[in-house]
Amino acid sequence: MSSNLKKICCIGAGYVGGPTMAVIADKCPNLNVTVVDINKERINLWNESDTSNLPIYEPGLADIIKRCRGKNLFFSNKVEENIADSDMIFISVNTPTKKKGLGAGKASDLKWVESCARKVAKHSIGHTIVVEKSTLPVRTAEVIKTILEASKNTNSKKSINPTFAVLSNPEFLAEGTAINDLVNPDRVLIGGDNENAIQTLHEVYKNWVSEDKILHTNLWSSELAKLTANAFLAQRISSINSISAICESTGADVREVARAIGSDSRIGSKFLDSGPGFGGSCFKKDILNLVYLSEYFGLKEVAEFWEGVVQLNNWHQNRISQLVVKKLFGSVSGKKINILGFAFKSNTNDTRESSAIKICKKLLEEGAILYIHDPKVEEKQIENDLKITFNMKRNEDLSPNLHNNEVEGSWKKVNNLSEAFLDSDAVLVLTEWEEYTKINWLDVASQMRFPAWIFDSRSIIDPIKVKEAGLNFWRIGDGT
Ligand code: NAD
Ligand code: UGA
């Protein structure tokens, strides 16, 4: 370990900052790691003695927090103070798609990153290595460097001018497997042009990652590699989802097609599960960012190619809600539908861009009564995502609500699955939680209103058991 590096500060205590710093603290007991955030509520939750209340659910995370918190891992709201006494600062803040102004709908909103760079510029003392952990458009490091450099000229109050090195170190963890991905990464990418800084960060990872997996590139390759990795992964999902629609029309089965193509070592078997469309906070925003960059550089055809991946995903999500309506005789108005899973994938409480949001909203527009279950997503989160609390409050008996002369749907969060299916017309599986694979379909069938449908968008339900229970069954990409 480089003798100069003693204290790391990470700005942003979110899905990336929290788990990543927890693993660094765990693997580097000689380093002091502090995660700071402007969100007081989030920091309070990170500091709660009961680790079942951490703001982020990730398998294995609570154990690390128990081991390291208060020893060499800290969570704090004191952003400026921690910047001032750190040797290395990770910027791990949100970089969502811009909602308005230049590039709205595609470009990344860098206001949080810029604000961090300004705080670092103002409060750093001595030499500081600034590490981009957030996913950023290519050449953002130039913006950060410019802000940091400018501070040298204006900071007359500081007796010694601070110095900086900027690195790009994008994160490739996936939610639900974050701890395992961090502990056993396929690779760690360090982009930069300052050899000392690169070596210092390299030494941190070397504590648990073998050196052949720590790749060094220039800054711009590192920034672009992150966007490209997400674009390629998302493209695979849109590809297999497009094939699932062809399967349904032709008598083929997408699972068989995926197995057949995945056996080709050039294609590989991972990321070929057809589902309800990709969700999560990053795939869509990162591809749109790539689209924006391509347009900015005049590469229209490149932009259109990547935009197609997002368009196919949108089409696919709509396709699922539409086919539910069609199978239920063209109307779901007043019909009770169980939604199994609201998170964008299993083993996370994250609902950002979850396909469940779009699909539920469409069904609510059609007047459905949704009973939503998810083992980790809070009711408050579903309420925020569906933004229809007003209807629900006026509609406690859960009958269709006549509001503005239009029939609108309603929803309820269900905590106990055993009571969920009474008089249901359909069950729609949207997240692949393991507990849904253990449902007893004979019991469920005895409670549902017939003719009843089970829709499995994740291929986790045994078709034979459902059909034996007398239920109609649809699953993604099954044309057989
Ligand atoms: P997040 O929204 O969960 O967390 C970001 C945190 O930064 C928030 O708690 C916010 O309050 C805080 N923040 C924003 N501005 C701040 C400031 N000026 N000072 C202090 N705190 C500030 O986001 P996330 O999911 O952790 O993603 C962070 C970045 O990592 C994004 O660029 C994302 O694209 C990238 N990324 C995310 C994942 C993932 O799985 N979520 C994986 C790889 C990369
Ligand atoms: C993804 C990438 O996998 C990470 O490498 C990356 O770091 C991260 O984005 C990021 O930059 O945020 P994540 O979004 O957490 O990670 O989860 P994934 O496992 O990639 O799943 C994304 C979406 O695709 C989910 O909705 C998932 O259900 C769906 N998916 C995934 C499929 O429909 N089929 C598959 O075969 C795989």
Task: Judge whether 304 and 290 are in contact, CB under 8 Å.
Answer: no
- Residue 17 in contact with ligand 1 by CB distance below 6 A: yes
Q: Is 360 annotated in the active site? A: no
Q: Which ligand is nearest to the CA of 279?
A: 2
* Position 390 pLDDT exceeds 50: no
Nearest-CA neighbor of 477 among 151, 281, 240?
240
Minimum-distance ligand 2 atom for the alpha carbon of 171:
7
Q: How far is the CA of 236 from the centre of ligand 1 (A)?
A: 25
Question: Do 236 and 323 share a structural domain?
Answer: no
Supply the pLDDT for residue 156: 54
Tell me the three-class secondary structure of 298-335, residue by residue. CCHHHHHHHHHHHHHHHHHHHHHHHHHHHHCCCCCCCC
DSSP summary character for residue 124: -
* Position 384 pLDDT exceeds 70: yes
Give the mean model confidence (pLDDT) for residues 24-29: 98
Work out how many domains the chain is built from and give that number: 3
Question: Do 166 and 115 share a structural domain?
Answer: yes
H or E segment at 132? strand 127-132
pLDDT in tens, 66-90: 999 999 999 999 999 999 999 999 9
- Residue 110 in contact with ligand 1 by CB distance below 6 A: no
Half-sphere exposure of 431 (CA within 13 A, CB side): 32
Question: Do 113 and 27 share a structural domain?
Answer: yes
Task: Note whether residue 1 is domain-resident.
Answer: no
**Angle of CA points 132, 137, 139, to nearest 5°:** 75
H or E segment at 237? helix 219-250
Minimum-distance ligand 1 atom for the alpha carbon of 18:
26
Give the mean model confidence (pLDDT) for residues 452-456: 98
Task: Judge whether 107 and 98 are in contact, CB under 8 Å.
Answer: yes
Of 312, 338, 360, the one marking the end of a domain is 312
Extract the tokens encoding 205. Answer: 């990872």
Supply the pLDDT for residue 402: 43
Q: State the pTM of this model.
A: 0.94
Question: Do 60 and 104 share a structural domain?
Answer: yes
Supply the pLDDT for residue 404: 41
Q: How far is the CA of 174 from the centre of ligand 2 (A)?
A: 6
Task: Note whether residue 148 is domain-resident.
Answer: yes
Question: Do 331 and 308 share a structural domain?
Answer: no
- Residue 175 in contact with ligand 2 by CB distance below 6 A: yes
- Residue 341 in contact with ligand 2 by CB distance below 6 A: no
Q: How far is the CA of 124 from the centre of ligand 1 (A)?
A: 21
Task: Note whether residue 223 is domain-resident.
Answer: no
Q: Which of 137-146, 165-174, 235-244 has the lowest mean pLDDT?
A: 137-146
Q: For helices 61-68 and 17-27, what crossing angle results, to 10°?
A: 50
The phi and psi torsions of 10 (rounded to 5 degrees) equal -120, 125
Of 165, 188, 217, the one marking the end of a domain is 217
* Position 4 pLDDT exceeds 50: yes
Give the mean model confidence (pLDDT) for residues 222-243: 98
Supply the pLDDT for residue 372: 97
Q: Rounded to an integer, what distance in angstroms lies between the CA atom of residue 316 and that of residue 244?
A: 10
Q: Rounded to an integer, what distance in angstroms lies between the CA atom of residue 473 and that of residue 441?
A: 11
Type of residue at 182: L
The total number of residues shown for the chain amounts to 480
* Position 155 pLDDT exceeds 90: no
Give the position of tokens 């396929």.
186
Q: Which of 118-127, 335-344, 392-401 has the lowest mean pLDDT?
A: 392-401
Question: Do 241 and 197 share a structural domain?
Answer: no
Which residue among 244, 271, 274, 458 has the greatest number of ligand 2 atoms within 8 angstroms of its CB, and so is best to mutate?
Answer: 271
Q: How far is the CA of 75 from the centre of ligand 1 (A)?
A: 15
Question: Do 333 and 428 share a structural domain?
Answer: yes
- Residues near 78 by beta carbon (within 8 Å), at least 6 away in sequence: 36
Q: Rounded to an integer, what distance in angstroms lies between the CA atom of residue 303 and that of residue 424?
A: 44
Supply the pLDDT for residue 395: 47
Q: Rounded to an integer, what distance in angstroms lies between the CA atom of residue 75 and that of residue 85?
A: 15
* Position 171 pLDDT exceeds 70: yes
Give the mean model confidence (pLDDT) for residues 393-408: 49
DSSP summary character for residue 418: G
* Position 95 pLDDT exceeds 80: yes
Q: Rounded to an integer, what distance in angstroms lies between the CA atom of residue 141 and that of residue 438?
A: 48
Q: Rounded to an integer, what distance in angstroms lies between the CA atom of residue 292 and that of residue 101?
A: 13
Extract the tokens encoding 423. Answer: 């008089």
Q: Rounded to an integer, what distance in angstroms lies between the CA atom of residue 350 and that of residue 50?
A: 20
Task: Note whether residue 2 is domain-resident.
Answer: no
Residue of 9, 10, 247, 282 marked catalytic: 282
Mean pLDDT of the chain: 94
Of 179, 196, 217, the one marking the end of a domain is 217
pLDDT in tens, 330-358: 999 999 999 999 999 999 999 999 999 99
Extract the tokens encoding 466. Answer: 């459902």
* Position 393 pLDDT exceeds 90: no
DSSP summary character for residue 69: B
Q: Which residues pair with 373 in a beta bridge?
A: 340
User: Percent of the chain scored above 90 by pLDDT?
Assistant: 91
Supply the pLDDT for residue 408: 76
For residue 154, name the pLDDT band (cuts at 50, 70, 90): low
Minimum-distance ligand 2 atom for the alpha carbon of 355:
26
Extract the tokens encoding 282. Answer: 């990053």
Residue nearest to atom 6 of ligand 1 (CA): 12
Beta-sheet strand order (sheet of 426-429): 410-413, 369-373, 336-340, 426-429, 453-456, 472-475
Question: Residue 254 is part of which domain span?
Answer: 228-312
Task: Note whether residue 192 is domain-resident.
Answer: yes
Q: Which ligand is nearest to the CA of 96?
A: 1
Residue nearest to atom 30 of ligand 2 (CA): 278
Task: Note whether residue 237 is domain-resident.
Answer: yes
Extract the tokens encoding 464. Answer: 């034979």
Question: Do 263 and 193 share a structural domain?
Answer: no
Supply the pLDDT for residue 388: 61
Minimum-distance ligand 2 atom for the alpha carbon of 281:
12
- Residue 94 in contact with ligand 1 by CB distance below 6 A: yes
Question: Do 287 and 389 share a structural domain?
Answer: no
Question: Do 421 and 327 share a structural domain?
Answer: yes
**Angle of CA points 398, 458, 367, to nearest 5°:** 25
Question: In this structure, are strands 88-91 and 7-11 parallel, antiparallel, or unpaired?
Answer: parallel
Q: For helices 219-250 and 300-327, what crossing angle results, to 10°?
A: 40
Q: Which residues pair with 413 in a beta bridge?
A: 372
Q: Cβ of 50: how many Cβ atoms within 10 Å?
A: 8
Question: In this structure, are strands 426-429 and 401-403 parallel, antiparallel, or unpaired?
Answer: unpaired
- Residues near 326 by beta carbon (within 8 Å), at least 6 away in sequence: none
Q: How far is the CA of 42 from the centre of ligand 1 (A)?
A: 12
Task: Note whether residue 480 is domain-resident.
Answer: no
Supply the pLDDT for residue 159: 55
Q: How far is the CA of 344 from the centre of ligand 2 (A)?
A: 9
Nearest-CA neighbor of 467 among 454, 480, 450?
454
- Residue 223 in contact with ligand 1 by CB distance below 6 A: no
Minimum-distance ligand 1 atom for the alpha carbon of 42:
9
Q: CATH number of the domain that 118 lies in?
A: 3.40.50.720
Question: Do 348 and 307 share a structural domain?
Answer: no
Supply the pLDDT for residue 230: 98
* Position 7 pLDDT exceeds 90: yes
Give the position of tokens 């966007």.
227
pLDDT in tens, 417-439: 987 999 999 999 999 999 999 99
Question: Do 258 and 200 share a structural domain?
Answer: no
Task: Note whether residue 417 is domain-resident.
Answer: yes
Q: CATH number of the domain that 247 lies in?
A: 1.10.1040.10
